[in-house]
Amino acid sequence: MANNKRLFLSLSEEDIQKLDFLREELGMNRSQYIRYILSGQTKVLSPSIKYKELVKHLAEIDMHLRVIALKDTVSPGETLAIYSEVKELKTLLSMKGTSGQVDQK
């Protein structure tokens, strides 16, 4: 086990915003991102890792909407509208760079 040392770093608000933007793109926390930069790695993480949390939430929304669509009180037209909206949302997200299936049944 490594003997980790704690580092305190002062940055301007602008630099903190830049750091947070860059680390969020890779799905890392601040410590992970700084270690990633120090390691000199040039490997770019796939978009599916970047959007992992978004895909997870979309799958949850999809599941809840399917449950709603199957209720007896929902008309066939409303059911079709719900499925159409979910499909459109998935299409929009796939254009943003997500890879792999968005539908996680």
pLDDT at 44: 62
Domain count, the chain: 2
Structural domain of 82: 47-95
Residue 54: band (very low, low, confident or very high) from pLDDT cuts 50, 70, 90? confident
Average pLDDT over residues 42-53: 64
Q: Has residue 26 got a pLDDT over 50?
A: yes
Same-domain status, 26 and 62: no
- How much is the pTM? 0.41
Quick check: is 104 in a domain?
no
Q: What is the per-residue pLDDT for 17?
A: 93
Does residue 29 lie in a domain region? yes
55 and 28 within one domain: no
* 61 and 36 part of one domain: no
Which residue bears the tokens 């700084």? 34
Q: Is residue 27 part of a domain?
A: yes
**Residue 15, pLDDT score:** 93
The reply to whether 40 falls in a domain is yes
What's the confidence (pLDDT) of residue 1?
54
